[in-house]
Structure 1
Amino acid sequence: MSDEEFDLMDELYFVQSFKGLKETLCWEEAKVLSTLQLLFEKKYIKCLAGPDEDLTGSPDIPKNGKQYYFLATKKGLMAHNTL
């Protein structure tokens, strides 16, 4: 897990919006989206349509990530906590 992935995972113990992540991390939009995509591909996070609403289908994070919410998965939390 890269430093960026680790830092982003720190923020995903609870549901977070893209906007909230961007503001908290003070990263450029593209960096947040690309790091979210990497974490999603590793199954470390899941995407939500809303704070309490599962997303149907496969998310297109680079294209639509700004409208999603994100949360760490059990696998992601385990990986984050073992470093």
Structure 2
Amino acid sequence: MSDTEFDLLDELYFVQTYDFIKESLKWEDELLLETLNSLYQSGMIKCLSAPDTERFDQVDLFKEGKNLFYLATKKGLMAHNTL
């Protein structure tokens, strides 16, 4: 897990909006979307269309990422807490 992935997972213990994450980490869109995509593809986070509505289809974060909510998965939390 990279340092950026670790830092991003720090923000995802609770459901968060893209804008909240961006403001908290002070990252550019490109870095944030790339890191979200990396964590998503490895099953470390899940995407939600609303705070309580998980997306089960394949999400293209580079197209939809700014309009979604995010949450760490159990796999992501376990990986984050073992480092």
Residue of structure 2 equivalent to 1:43 = 43
Equivalent residue, structure 1, for 2:28: 28
Partner of residue 60, structure 2: 60
Whole-angstrom distance in 1 between the partners of 2:25 and 2:64: 19
d(CA) in 2 for partners of 1:4, 1:28: 12
TM-score, length-scaled by structure 1: 0.97
Q: Unmatched 5+ residue regions in structure 2?
A: none
Amino acid at match of 2:59: P
TM-score (norm: length of structure 2): 0.97
In the aligned structure 2, how far is the partner of 1:55 from the partner of 1:74?
16
Runs of 4 or more off by more than 3 Å in structure 1? none
Q: Matched residue pairs, number?
A: 83
In structure 1, the residue matched to 2:81 is 81
Question: What's the Cα RMSD here?
Answer: 0.7
